[in-house]
Amino acid sequence: MIGIIANELDWNVRELMREIVSKGREYTVFPITEVLAQVSASHRVTWGDVAVDEMDAIFVRWVPGGSAEQVVFRMDVLHRVENMGITVINSSKSIEQCADKYYTCSLLEDAGIPTPLTVCTEQYQEAMDAFDNLGDVVVKPLFGSQGIGVMRIQDRDLAHRLFRILDYGNCVFYIQEFIPHSNEDYRVFVVGDEVISSMRRRGDTWKTNYARGASVETITLPHDITDVAIAASEVLGCHYAGVDILPGPDQNYVVEVNSIPGWKGLQGVTDFCIAERVISSVLD
């Protein structure tokens, strides 16, 4: 039995379901919020009548947010099933590292992979100092995806108002230098130690997320970019990953490594089934 952790049967989940069946295997889809974890019991992790701890592999397609206790517990469940010898794709460690933008960029920098200049702080004044030093910044939620809640700030009064609101909400300030990039970037899809497909994304604005309306086109990237993408995925411990690379005026920057990447946009410019490659990399 193959498990898929998801809250809904979105396009990516349905692709995985079809390919698992094509391999002659059975699957079950369940939300991680509904698992029961036990200690010193016959089954240690269950979902209804399904013994999660007897599965052969589990694909993680969604771990929702919640209170600190809920998020920690959900990740504890993934650690638990891994400790029982079950293959989890992607691993709990890689999901934790990729979900936290500061953790991601710090690991990339430590590995010598170019990332934009980033300031992360809990202090309002330090956030304002960062804006004054940089002048043109991108402010992001520490946890988030698909470009939601990401803002470009060029005006000091606007920076003041935004940072005061974030300070009042006890938020962490995550601030990056804005990199001019002609409203385009690259999504590189890595499986194992291979780039299997890539695309250029073009936005009507500086945001280039496919989920935010950016157009996509196929592209064959040079080896220096694909090598960086593979290295970034490896540093974050991903079995498969969507690596976002920003072509800056002086060099290319890795801005995000997605451990639960969607590939609907990429599939539209790829002449083979991406889900089949992902499933085969685990089940074959």
User: What pLDDT digit, counting tens, does each position of 38-65 carry?
Assistant: 999 889 999 999 999 899 999 999 999 8
Write down the pLDDT at residue 196: 97
At residue 270, does pLDDT exceed 80? yes
pTM over 0.85: yes
Burial of residue 249, with CB atoms counted within 10 A of its CB: 0-12 exposed, 13-18 middle, 19 or more buried: exposed
Write down the pLDDT at residue 209: 75
Write down the pLDDT at residue 147: 64
Write down the pLDDT at residue 55: 96
Among candidate residues 279, 283, 281, the one with its CA nearest the CA of residue 13: 279
At residue 207, does pLDDT exceed 90? no
In degrees and rounded to multiples of 5, residue 10 shows phi and psi of -75, 180
Write down the pLDDT at residue 35: 96
Predicted confidence (pLDDT) per residue in 131-159, tens digit = 999 999 999 998 876 667 889 999 999 99
At residue 212, does pLDDT exceed 70? no
What is d(CA 21, CA 39) in angstroms, rounded to the nearest whole number?
32
Among candidate residues 257, 236, 243, 256, the one with its CA nearest the CA of residue 199: 243
Burial of residue 47, with CB atoms counted within 10 A of its CB: 0-12 exposed, 13-18 middle, 19 or more buried: middle
Please, which pLDDT band fits residue 208 given cuts at 50, 70 and 90? confident
Within 10 angstroms of residue 108's Cβ, the number of other Cβ atoms is 22
What is d(CA 238, CA 96) in angstroms, rounded to the nearest whole number?
11
Walk me through the domains of the chain, giving residue ranges and CATH numbers.
2-89 (3.40.50.20), 97-110+181-283 (3.30.470.20), 118-177 (3.30.1490.20)
Average pLDDT, stretch 171-192? 94
